[in-house]
Structure 1
């Protein structure tokens, strides 16, 4: 169903682009055929970027994944800008039709109008995509966020949790991306590292080397991981869980652990992602929160913010999530916000605090527009 919907959307989008960028801006002849062929070729490269990596493997996917995904982003913004210009185009064409003195003049004026609109859409879209690509490929922001928790023991005041999510290693992001993130996290000197899902878009054989720098994470209480939906898009989720555990990143699979310091206790729990339900490995909040210390606050790692509803029903104090990418590309964040309780940042849902990181990577088009990537360091304080 996803493939059918995505294919339909892409077909409509490219048809509209052909109408406005090719048919309306050219006369019948070789130029129109050449531009049509170019648009079809770009569409095929995009389809290849979406479909072929799982068939031929990631090692051979880079040469078409980069142009395919860059065109995906550019095509999306061309479509949006042209759509915004559509009412103005309609009004101007009506006026030209009323003032036309001959068929030749009418065609020339229509071509001028269409080419002007295409130029405006092209310049605007290229500028947005260029800036967004630089932002996505650059270092993420490091955010410092204080969080007050009920019942936090004074011995744990100032406890620092580095939160990172949505690294999305795959055909466009590899080992260098992980190395930079690990260096940036270590520079924050965290007490604990929380990796809240969507680390990989491929198998252990393909991405094992790209993930291996996670072994260099340094924190007093260790690094912990929960699955995201993309961990269930690979053929063997268990292989990744074993690999991360080997690297020193402890998976929390519907389970919890106690952090102890100078007699103080902090509950740290994790639940599987909702996508795990398809393979009988979904979230189990009751199991994850069993045997926790009743007098200590609970921090829950859960990939999707929407899981906070069940967390709040069980008295969780703070949930750490990712998944949204902060929307990644404006204005698509409106769609994400419609299905998640929070897009990014700290909020409260039914008495449970929810922190959502925008993620440190990207999925699909390698660009961030209006949603810069981040690593967040949460500093725990006692609620007065």
Structure 2
């Protein structure tokens, strides 16, 4: 069903953009109509084939699949200014003297925005820093540095060499621990022997910890878990550990499947934190679902870390994502609990981001100044 909808939307975008660009005199005067539309048809066929083949993590099918997703992203970004120009001119029915000029400007804006979105999608993630007061944090841990990284989406686009560059970024921050908050892979296990060695390069004296995201379950989750464990990553699958004396780290299994089926998404958290926390507690939950946020706050979690939203990834989808997840990205306070949602280091679908690039989050913990 998703592919059918994608095909319909992509087809409408494709031929709309092709039609509006061919209305430009500079294009019509240089390209024969039959050549233009034959080219448009061939590109559309490649797009449809790519959607059909899918975005396989390893195989050759990735190439047409990735082209299809990137082309869809470009078409969407191109459609925004073109449609705005058409609405302003009544699709050429009024303001005729300037309709061509506006359409040309819109096409140029669409090309520039698409190029910028691709640049933001392929560039290295930036470092975003937060300094947060954590209730019940022992004085000895004041100033502890943690690196949070989510939504790596390792796969055909991002392999072990890309991850090696991220390891160098993370190590430069000198964290006490690295927290991987879900969607480490695109779908399937990476299947690249070099990954384990790369992950073992992470320098964090209090360990590298991970929770699953929804994408881990789109492939063979147990193989993915094993691949990361070979690299020294320890998973928190509805479990908690003492990260340091007086500081507990808890992690829950991804709640995406329960959300889709209408099940109880707080079962894992209830098992991990059956009672109110009596020590400083950090919770890793890939999806910032409202019931999980509310229960975590009620049970004394001081800091919850999530990803999943990608910050909307391509504007204006951020508004749609925010309708589902009101705390879209960044730092929030919910019922006295700190909540940090990362837009992720990687991306899903087209390797495009509009407006913000991917991010790696550095968190410095501070003692809470509030009195009991």
Classify the TM-score, shorter chain: 0.7 to 0.9
Alpha-carbon offset, residue 95 of structure 1: 4.9
* Structure 1 runs not aligned, ≥5 long: 97-108
Is residue 334 from structure 1 mapped to residue 335 from structure 2 by the alignment?
no
| Alignment match, 2:4 | 4
Q: Contact between 1:224 and 1:250, CA under 8 Å: does it hold in 2? A: yes
CA RMSD, 1 decimal: 2.8
Conserved 8 A contact 1:227-1:272: yes
Q: Partner residue of 1:38?
A: 39
State whether structure 2 residue 249 is matched by structure 1 residue 268.
yes
Task: Return the match for 1:315 from 270, 286, 300.
Answer: 300
Native 8 Å contact 1:152 1:381 kept in 2: yes
> How far apart are residue 118 of structure 1 and its match?
4.4
Give the TM-score taking structure 1 as reference length. Answer: 0.85
Pair 1:137-2:122 in alignment: yes
Q: What is the 5 A alignment of 1:1-384?
A: 1-22=1-22, 31-53=32-54, 58-90=58-90, 93-96=93-96, 113-114=99-100, 116-204=101-189, 206-207=191-192, 209-210=194-195, 212-234=197-219, 236-260=220-244, 264-277=245-258, 284-290=268-274, 294-306=277-289, 307-384=292-369
Q: Judging changes above 3 Å, is the alpha-carbon distance between structure 1 residues 304 and 373 closer, same or farther for their aligned structure 2 residues?
A: same
3-state SS of 1:162 partner? strand
Q: TM-score, normalised by structure 2?
A: 0.87
Which moved further from structure 2: 84-93 or 153-162?
84-93
SS state of the match for residue 80, structure 2?
A: helix
Asked whether the 8 Å contact 1:253–1:288 carries over to 2, the reply is no
On the 8 A contact 2:256/2:287 being kept in 1, the answer is: no
1:305–1:341 CA contact under 8 A, matched in 2: no
Q: d(CA) in 2 for partners of 1:95 and 1:205?
A: 55
Which segments of 5 or more consecutive residues in structure 2 lack a partner in the other structure?
none
Question: Deviation of residue 290 (structure 1)?
Answer: 4.3
**1:149 offset after TM fit, Å?**
1.1
Instruction: State the shift of 1:33 in Å.
Output: 3.0
Counterpart Cα distance in 1 of 2:284 and 2:203: 19
CA distance in 2, matches of 1:238, 1:91: 54
Following superposition, the deviation at residue 207 of structure 1 comes to 4.7
C-alpha contact (below 8 Å) 2:137/2:279 kept by paired residues: yes
